[in-house]
């Protein structure tokens, strides 16, 4: 009997223990992860894709709330350096001087890439315009001011161009898109290189109006007859703006689209520097669209809040992998595999 009693006590103990473990398991399974809110700000160029990523990621990770404010690359870098945001974004990689000012360190992560197009508004003109490198550089230099200029007409003999002033539209805010555009102009034109130069803001000799953000420039072109401006491909596509076929380094006139932008990346992303600052001011390749840029996420090297750090790393790693499948639909180019691998390694360095 004693033995049986001991057996009963043992069974009772084990049952209680197993039940307790089961209850603990249920309790842990039902306890949601602590909610985290991440704040980011920066480039307007990739904003539609970033918003798509945030929307999709939130459905799978409801505990992570992310807000992104498209304020331009210059303001994004400023807020990042001021520690006013958890992450920044810029179409121009931070300089060594800027990185040195980052109190918690800075990790630059290429997140996407895309094309910068010359969109225009000439509703009575049928057909698609072509421009040579020399001609569109001189248009932005203010040397060509009429749409029916003989140099433009010679490139488009089948199109009747109007006698209309070219209303050039540029960015008003400090912009990574402007940086990439002026970097390209400097690569193809000595007059531009020795004149306005490269920057997030420059003195545009031929510009008649400015607007804030890619969305603002695209909207201004849409409203302004005779206008021409530089804008990220997806913004122009969404508004149905015609886009000029530009002459590339190989001398071929190329339409801006997914294939030509992807060709520019594929033919020119070779040796990637350790800091992941890859610039393509004038890409090689007969099929390459001539104005493309990467866009970077800016992460702090160290985060005091481990919850925010882990949530941000989780989101960015997802964006660099599964998130890339959303790029084309939003008008962007998925990262080449080699770049994505190095980008994920950079994220791993964040502490």
Do residues 62 and 148 both lie within one domain? Answer: no
Confidence of residue 34 (pLDDT cuts 50, 70, 90): confident
Quote the percentage of the chain above a pLDDT of 70.
90
Which of 237, 268, 299 marks a domain boundary? 268
Mean pLDDT for the stretch of residues 228-244: 97
Element (H, E) at 117: strand 106-120
Do residues 182 and 93 both lie within one domain? Answer: no
Q: Is the pLDDT of residue 102 over 90?
A: yes
Q: What digits encode the pLDDT tens for the residues 137-162?
A: 999 999 999 999 999 999 999 999 99
Element (H, E) at 349: none
Do residues 194 and 308 both lie within one domain? Answer: no
Quote the CA–CA distance of 65 and 338 in Å, as a whole number. Answer: 30
Do residues 82 and 106 both lie within one domain? Answer: yes
CATH code, domain with 80: 3.40.190.10
Quote the CA–CA distance of 226 and 37 in Å, as a whole number. Answer: 44
State both tokens at 281: 């001011």
Strand partners, 210: 170
User: Is residue 27 in a domain?
Assistant: no
Q: How far, CA to CA in Å, does 177 sit from each of 10, 39, 182?
A: 73, 22, 9
Q: Is the pLDDT of residue 3 over 90?
A: no
Do residues 159 and 230 both lie within one domain? Answer: yes
Which pLDDT score, from 0 to 100, does residue 271 have? 67
Do residues 53 and 96 both lie within one domain? Answer: yes
User: Is residue 74 in a domain?
Assistant: yes
Q: Is the pLDDT of residue 165 over 70?
A: yes
Q: Is the pLDDT of residue 18 over 80?
A: no
Which of 212, 233, 268 marks a domain boundary? 268
User: Is residue 169 in a domain?
Assistant: yes
**Does residue 224 sit in helix, strand or coil?**
coil
Mean pLDDT for the stretch of residues 260-266: 93
Q: How far, CA to CA in Å, does 159 sit from each of 149, 154, 226?
A: 13, 10, 15
**Average pLDDT over the chain, rounded to whole?**
91
Quote the CA–CA distance of 168 and 5 in Å, as a whole number. Answer: 94
Residue with tokens 């600052």: 277
Do residues 86 and 195 both lie within one domain? Answer: no
User: Is residue 229 in a domain?
Assistant: yes
Q: What digits encode the pLDDT tens for the residues 322-333?
A: 999 999 999 999
Number of domains observed in the structure of the chain: 2
Identify the weakest region by mean pLDDT among 31-40, 54-63, 111-120, 330-339: 31-40
User: Is residue 204 in a domain?
Assistant: yes
User: Is residue 11 in a domain?
Assistant: no
Residue with tokens 């607007």: 211
Task: Tell me which residue range forms the domain holding 73.
Answer: 36-114+291-348
């Amino acid at each position: 009997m004693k033995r049986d009693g001991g057996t009963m006590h043992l069974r009772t103990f084990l049952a209680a223990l197993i039940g307790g473990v089961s209850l603990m398991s249920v309790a842990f399974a039902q306890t949601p992860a602590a909610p985290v809110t991440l704040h980011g700000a920066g480039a307007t160029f990739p904003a539609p894709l970033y918003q798509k990523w945030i929307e999709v990621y939130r459905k799978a990770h409801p505990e992570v709330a992310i807000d992104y404010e498209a304020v331009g690359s210059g303001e994004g870098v400023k807020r990042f350096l001021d520690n006013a945001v958890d992450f920044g974004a810029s179409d121009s990689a931070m300089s060594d001087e800027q990185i040195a000012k980052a109190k918690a360190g800075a990790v630059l992560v290429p997140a996407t890439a895309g094309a910068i197009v010359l969109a225009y508004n000439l509703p009575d003109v049928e057909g698609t315009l072509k421009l040579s490198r020399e001609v569109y550089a001189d248009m932005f230099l203010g040397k060509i001011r009429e749409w029916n200029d003989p140099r433009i007409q010679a490139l488009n003999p089948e199109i009747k161009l109007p006698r209309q002033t070219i209303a050039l539209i540029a960015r008003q805010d400090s912009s990574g898109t402007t940086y990439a555009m002026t970097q390209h102009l400097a690569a193809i034109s000595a007059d531009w290189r020795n004149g306005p130069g490269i920057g997030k803001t420059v003195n545009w000799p031929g510009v008649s109006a400015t607007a804030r953000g890619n969305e603002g420039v695209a909207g201004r072109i849409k409203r302004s007859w005779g206008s021409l401006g530089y804008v990220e491909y997806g913004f122009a596509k969404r508004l149905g703006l015609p886009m000029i076929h530009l002459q590339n380094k190989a001398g071929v006139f190329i339409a801006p689209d997914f294939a030509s932008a992807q060709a520019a990346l594929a033919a020119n992303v070779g040796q990637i520097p350790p800091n992941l600052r890859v610039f393509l001011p004038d890409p090689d390749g007969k099929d390459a669209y001539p104005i493309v840029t990467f866009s970077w996420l800016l992460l702090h090297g160290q985060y005091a809040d481990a919850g925010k750090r882990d949530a941000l790393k989780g989101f960015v790693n997802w964006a660099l992998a599964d998130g890339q499948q959303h790029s084309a639909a939003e008008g962007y180019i998925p990262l080449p595999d080699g770049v994505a691998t190095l980008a994920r390694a950079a994220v791993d360095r964040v502490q």
